[in-house]
A and B are shown apart, each in its own frame.
Chain A
């Protein structure tokens, strides 16, 4: 029962973390008008996952049916998600700078956020693991005639992930604006590096990249793959008990430069021009 709950929690966190940061960011930067697009992206991703999961579980559809196609689907959506999240990270940096330069009133203008970009980011964050979650869900539904436990445990896990996402949002919107941009930015870099590592792992599993068994480390004796803390770490940062060398190379090659660029001190603030109004 706990095992199924943890699967729901992990799969759920992979989606809710990015979405809750995105929502917090829009609320903090006073772009709540963009929230509609975020929820549209989330809704579309959930809808597609539910429909595809149903088709694969109950019909003989040929789309995304084989193992390789599914791994590729997850790899491509994950890597695309990293692109959008990276763009968001630098968007946060710009926001942080405009506060530092005391141009806070102009921040909203600087963040003329593309509504499609926001929707696509929310969509990718949810859809990349949505199909797998939906397939687990239907297998639990089919087993529910014998034993409904796993189904409720899975739903409970996903619900917990949503609650954690909400709590993160509620905490984030309360903290000081410049602290918010700095720390959520750093958090997001860790999340994005994890998503990239995940994408590389899937490309290795799909056979596009080799070296799946060349492990950089194996700490599964310490980090129990069945433990609740592993579910949390994997769901949030994709810190897995084992990782291939290539996964770690991707993680470092992405994470370090982005972190460096993000934290690089901003140039001395240009004195704010006197408002003419």
Chain B
């Protein structure tokens, strides 16, 4: 019982603390399959960018945003078949690559993504 009370209290504290949310960002849909990775938009404005990755394939997939040199800017793992997960990532202006990794292996299905400041 004691635990539950603590958690409830923590929840209230967090909810109040996070009341001042930033303006909502329009998520970019990513449709992944076992062989494809369709990003609905190939460019965005700099700032916090939200990708909503939906796995329509039969393998578990991962979604990455790479800076040049394959530096990971953001990544979401464990996107099971049929599920949809969100990646929220800070991207300054520049040219990036998005990648889906069906089967959690290999270089992934890549495409270019441009962020303008």
Q: How far is the CA of A149 from the CA of B22 in the complex (A)?
A: 35
Contacts of A139 in B (CB 8 A): 79, 83-85
| A212 and B82 within 8 A (CB) | no
Query: Do A67 and B21 contact each other (CB < 8 Å), given the known contacts A136-B83, A140-B80, A226-B104?
Result: no
- B46 contacts A by Cβ under 8 Å: no
Interface string of A63-100 (1 = CB under 8 A from B): 10111100000000000000000000000000000000
- B45 contacts A by Cβ under 8 Å: no
Among the stretches B36-44, B69-77, B92-100, B109-117, the one at the interface with A is B69-77
Return the contact of B60 from the options A3, A47, A51, A67 (Cβ within 8 A). Answer: A3
Q: How far is the CA of A220 from the CA of B58 in the complex (A)?
A: 18
Query: Do A44 and B3 contact each other (CB < 8 Å), given the known contacts A66-B88, A143-B83?
Result: yes
| B3 and A47 within 8 A (CB) | yes
- A59 contacts B by Cβ under 8 Å: yes
Q: How far is the CA of A44 from the CA of B90 in the complex (A)?
A: 31
Contacts of A105 in B (CB 8 A): none
Interface string of B100-112 (1 = CB under 8 A from A): 0001111000000
Contacts of B59 in A (CB 8 A): 3, 226
Return the contact of A67 from the options B4, B10, B88 (Cβ within 8 A). Answer: B88
Q: How many A-B residue pairs have CB under 8 A?
A: 111
- B87 contacts A by Cβ under 8 Å: yes
Contacts of A154 in B (CB 8 A): 80
Q: How far is the CA of A65 from the CA of B74 in the complex (A)?
A: 12
Query: Do A220 and B105 contact each other (CB < 8 Å), given the known contacts A136-B83, A150-B82?
Result: yes
Contacts of A153 in B (CB 8 A): 80
Q: How many residues of B are in contact with the other chain, CB < 8 A?
A: 42
Contacts of B22 in A (CB 8 A): 60, 62
| B14 and A63 within 8 A (CB) | yes
- A159 contacts B by Cβ under 8 Å: no
Query: Do A135 and B3 contact each other (CB < 8 Å), given the known contacts A7-B60, A62-B18?
Result: no
- B35 contacts A by Cβ under 8 Å: no
- A55 contacts B by Cβ under 8 Å: yes
Q: How far is the CA of A66 from the CA of B21 in the complex (A)?
A: 14
| B48 and A213 within 8 A (CB) | no
Query: Do A60 and B90 contact each other (CB < 8 Å), given the known contacts A44-B3, A55-B15, A213-B70?
Result: no
Return the contact of B74 from the options A6, A67, A225, A226 (Cβ within 8 A). Answer: A67
B53 closest partner in A (C-beta): A139
Contacts of B77 in A (CB 8 A): 132
For window 1-52 of A, CB contacts with B under 8 Å fall at 1, 3-4, 6-7, 11, 40, 43-44, 47-48, 50-52
| B80 and A225 within 8 A (CB) | no
What are 8 inter-chain pairs, A to B, with CB distance below 8 A? A4-B60, A51-B10, A51-B11, A62-B21, A63-B14, A132-B77, A142-B84, A220-B105
Given contacts A11-B78, A61-B21, A66-B48, 7 further A-B contacts (CB under 8 A): A4-B60, A6-B60, A60-B22, A66-B88, A66-B89, A153-B80, A226-B59
